[in-house]
Structure 1
């Protein structure tokens, strides 16, 4: 099978390319070429700016693929450009990696696919842009059966994660530093390991699913405190945890912690008929730790987490 990955150099798309190759697929990547050759010489790399419709059309004019995995689409213009470039090609599926940020804040959990979508005060334009992209693709499915599928993951973690989340806690543990968490640490969030996301995509391809929207994620949410303790278990080391009433001390959670103080988790019953997650949080964080210790320089560290944590502790 020939897979075209829109992206290919950052966390999710990098991992997908790696795993598709390991599964014996032919892989093509399309990105701006800022990180050339990250997968060696096993793949065909196309360099183009997908924001430029003419440039994208030219780049994809002679490219044929069975499936397109869109990891780098963030706006409706992104997916419109890619749609126009491939709409006359005989593709079997177009899988768009969206986000749970498309949902409005909710007091009802878990959040189902038919819950209210729109602006979320925590995610802002990121969520509404993803939603507009989703809407365009689903409309094209309804109009002419363009074979789009939408996946809405929560926080993604695992090997290759260049976002400073579990890496921040690993750094605190490595340096035997206290971890500061928002309030009592009871806010519930949800994750999916990158391998489980990849396997979900594989099952959608295997079953030739089209025109559907799926939440994806682990079965249950986990509290901030539970997540930090899980990072400790993976690292094999404990440290002190401070519970901070951040409003009292005029801090925002993202000043010292890698997540908004926003509680949510998704209902994944619909996707569970196709694939159920296999990677436990313990196993997933152990994989993350191994990769992080060998690739620390690839992570976009946020020094203010560290600096503000130290101020709070003092």
Structure 2
């Protein structure tokens, strides 16, 4: 297949590009060109997708069998792309988010659960609805928390920063909220398995790891992954409501139960996560965190110290 990836030089796009090229697909990346391509055997088109005339000019005359839209956040990001290629594609794969779900007393989240109209990810749900209403042969992917090499969000690195410096891990409340991490390579493999799969047309899939973990369990897993004895790390618990945090983010994960059922993807896509949590965290630590030198740079722990001073 000839495949267009919107994005492709960061995180999800890097893993996906490598997998698709290895599978023999012809891959074209559309991005602003700030980073080099992850493998040599791809074509790169430089452009800003938010500049619609430029998008149209850059992609004029191009033909693709499938498009992966990895970085569309709002309907206004994706609609111009769809209009360019409507009726010309066999598949449009959209990266949405499990963040669209409305907080629920019954977990895990299923693909047909109600969505939160006030979610900061509501643009992604609006895009899913648009793709469905327009009759586009689409599949939407809803990851939970994504981790692994290349992660530009402070998730696992937040824990690593403190563990390598022997600092306390500050966890809100009792540390017993459950969350879910999925490795970026497992996500990319699942995305690749959507291609050519008739079962996936018109479907939404939750994609993440196959186990849920408490905040405390995540801290312990991070310790194990970097070679520390989990029993020897220091964990401090605090009540966020007792601190005037404002918009400052003292913890990298939403303080609620947040995890999703992935059985539909396993069944329809014949997919199974390769990484368990500790092996995935170890991959991120050894192949990304340490090589980046982040363990040696100065990190701002002002907020940690502020909370600790009041415990």
Using structure 2 for the length normalisation, give the TM-score. 0.89
User: Which residue in 2 is equivalent to 1:108?
Assistant: 106
Taking a change above 3 Å as real, the CA distance of residues 198 and 133 of structure 1, as seen in their structure-2 partners, is: same
Structure 1 residues 1-314: aligned runs within 5 Å: 1-35=1-35, 37-39=36-38, 41-89=40-88, 91-120=89-118, 124=119, 126-141=120-135, 146-208=136-198, 209-238=200-229, 239-251=233-245, 255-273=249-267, 274=269, 275-290=271-286, 291-296=288-293, 306-314=301-309
**Contact in 2 for aligned 1:188/1:263 (Cα 8 Å):** yes
Whether contact under 8 Å (1:182, 1:244) holds in the other structure is yes
Report how far residue 18 of structure 1 moved.
Answer: 2.7
* Partner Cα distance (1:236, 1:34) in 2: 35
Q: Tell me the distance in 1 between the aligned counterparts of 2:247 and 2:173.
A: 9
Aligned residue for 1:247, secondary structure, equals helix
Structure 2 CA distance for aligned equivalents of residues 252 and 178 of structure 1:
22
Cα distance between partner residues in 2 of 1:267 and 1:41: 36
State the Cα deviation string for residues 90-111 of structure 1 (Å, max 9, x = none): x221100100111111111111
State the distance in 2 between where 1:85 and 1:303 align.
Answer: 45
Cα drift, residue 232 of structure 1: 0.3
Segments of 5+ residues of structure 1 without an aligned counterpart are none
1:15/1:160 contact within 8 Å kept = no
Q: How far, CA to CA, are the matches of 1:302 and 1:7 in structure 2?
A: 30
Structure 2: any 5+ residue segments left out of the alignment? none
CA distance in 2, matches of 1:312, 1:65: 52
CA RMSD of aligned residues (A): 2.1
Q: Is the 8 A contact 1:76 1:133 kept in 2?
A: yes
Deviates more, 1:100-109 or 1:251-260: 251-260
Q: Which aligned runs of 4 or more in structure 1 are off by greater than 6 angstroms?
A: none
Deviations 1:48-100 (A, max 9, x none): 221232221221112222221110111111111110111142x2211001001
